[in-house]
């Protein structure tokens, strides 16, 4: 046999052996990709807004979290809690203690007076995420005819040994009420000047059922953690509104342990375990889980698998072609 023919035959044989070796490597690669394919999918739900984590029962994207909390949070540059009376900046969420602290930018504080407005919650918000018992609303500059100073005066109380006079004496903004700017026009029933207009410390139920116009008070502020403020003056109080929430028992822990995100069907509001942007399960994302969206899962996985296989085949064919050049 001519030397050239033998050499060509040997080269061809080596290329066939190389091709067989590459095929085995390709099969191994595809097996690994298909095995880990479900884990390579992306969560359909955002889990943070700025520095604040957003976990179940809350959600930023529709279909994420618990359906009862749907649309309560929105994320722009900051995280906000949405109510009928406006958007309130979320300062913190404690998932262990199950409370959320918001701040009303239109609320009066020791340093600034704001035009009065009502703090309103929807009926479902009042039921599942109401203000905590240690959140106190201070109604300021009230008329002597205010219902909380007459028929409903039992709704007013002092907390941790504090009285309304402290606010008028300590806070720069509220001192204006001592200078004749109150609803009483600077005089009391005896005609003396520098009259201190009444105020009222009260709970959320008062402002829930009576608007600021009915209460006949011009301003309000709110203080949280009132059980820990004994001995501290108004300048050291914590201003804001703390809300408490309950976590619905829908088997979310099982879903989370399988790598999924708890959510719900946006049409039926049935609870789902969101495994990726394409796949949903009623319980968990692991293989063999009880899946309500079986028709949803299978096409999505096949769709992804198809592109993985095609990509690997193209790479193999390209390398095989180059080996003959």
Whole-angstrom distance between the N-terminal and C-terminal Cα of the chain?
25
Task: With cut-offs at 50, 70 and 90, classify the pLDDT of residue 260.
Answer: confident
For residue 323, is it within any domain? no
**Confidence label for 8 from pLDDT (cuts 50, 70 and 90):** low
Question: Could you tell me if 229 and 141 lie in one domain?
Answer: yes
Average of per-residue pLDDT across 228-232? 90
Say what the pLDDT of residue 2 is: 55
Residues 221 and 154 in one domain: yes
Statement to judge: residues 146 and 229 lie in one domain: yes
Q: Are 143 and 227 members of one domain?
A: yes
Residue 199 inside a domain? The answer is yes
Cis check for the bond before 290: say yes or no (omega within 30 of 0).
no
> In the structure, what pLDDT confidence band is assigned to residue 256 with cuts at 50, 70 and 90?
confident
Number of independent structural domains in the chain: 2
pLDDT, position 97:
95
Does residue 268 lie within any of the structural domains? yes
Q: Which of 67, 124, 99, 61 is nearest to 248 (CA)?
A: 67
Identify whether 51 is part of a domain: yes
What are the CA-CA distances from residue 16 to residues 8, 13, 24, 311, 323 (Å)?
12, 5, 13, 22, 10
Q: Do residue 173 and residue 212 come from a single domain? A: yes
268 shares its domain with 206: no
Q: Note whether residue 263 is domain-resident.
A: yes
Classify residue 128: in a domain, yes or no. Answer: no
Which tops the pLDDT comparison, 71 or 106?
Answer: 71
pLDDT for 188 equals: 47
Averaged pLDDT, 161-177: 87
pLDDT given at position 313: 62
CB neighbourhood size of 9 (10 A): 11
The answer to whether the beta carbons of residues 9 and 16 sit under 8 Å apart is no
The structure's pTM equals 0.71
Domain range holding 160? 109-115+137-183+194-235
Residue 27 and residue 29: Cα distance in Å, rounded? Answer: 5
Q: By the 8 A CB rule, do 263 and 274 touch? A: yes
**Integer angstrom CA distances of residue 204 from 84, 136, 154, 155:** 16, 7, 14, 10
Q: Is residue 131 part of a domain?
A: no
DSSP structure class, residue 37: G
- Residues 72, 160 share a domain: no
CA separation for the pair 100, 245 (Å, rounded):
8
Asked if residue 198 and residue 166 are part of one domain, the reply reads yes
pLDDT at 17 over 70: no
CA-nearest of 316, 254, 311 to 282 is 254
């Amino acid at each position: 046999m001519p030397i050239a023919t033998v050499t060509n035959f040997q080269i061809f044989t080596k290329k066939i052996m190389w091709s067989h070796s590459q095929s085995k490597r390709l099969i191994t690669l595809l097996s690994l990709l298909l095995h880990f394919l479900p884990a390579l999918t992306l969560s359909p739900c955002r889990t943070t807004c700025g520095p604040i984590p957003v976990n179940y029962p809350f959600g930023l994207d529709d279909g994420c979290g618990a359906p009862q909390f749907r649309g309560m949070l929105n994320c722009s540059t900051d995280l906000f809690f949405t109510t009928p009376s406006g958007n309130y900046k979320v300062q913190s969420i404690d998932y262990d203690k199950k409370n959320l602290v918001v701040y009303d930018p239109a609320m009066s504080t020791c340093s600034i007076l704001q035009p009065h407005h009502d703090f309103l919650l929807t009926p479902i918000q009042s039921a599942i995420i109401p203000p905590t018992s240690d959140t106190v609303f201070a109604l300021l500059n009230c008329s002597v005819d205010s219902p909380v100073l007459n028929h409903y005066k039992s709704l007013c109380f002092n907390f941790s040994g504090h009285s309304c006079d402290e606010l008028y004496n300590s806070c720069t903004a509220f001192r204006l009420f001592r200078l004749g700017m109150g609803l009483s026009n600077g005089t009391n029933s005896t005609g003396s000047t520098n009259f201190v207009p009444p105020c009222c410390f009260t709970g959320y139920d008062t402002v829930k059922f009576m608007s600021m116009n009915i209460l006949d008070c011009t301003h309000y502020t709110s203080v949280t953690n009132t059980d820990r403020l004994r001995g501290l003056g108004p300048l050291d109080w914590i201003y804001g509104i703390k809300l408490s929430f309950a976590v619905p028992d829908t088997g979310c822990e099982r879903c989370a342990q399988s790598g999924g995100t708890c959510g719900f069907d946006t049409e039926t509001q049935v609870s789902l375990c969101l495994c990726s942007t394409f796949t949903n399960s009623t319980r968990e994302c692991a293989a063999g889980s009880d899946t309500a969206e079986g028709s949803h899962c299978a096409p999505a996985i096949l769709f992804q698998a198809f592109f993985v296989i095609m990509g690997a085949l193209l790479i193999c064919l390209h390398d095989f072609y180059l080996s003959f050049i």
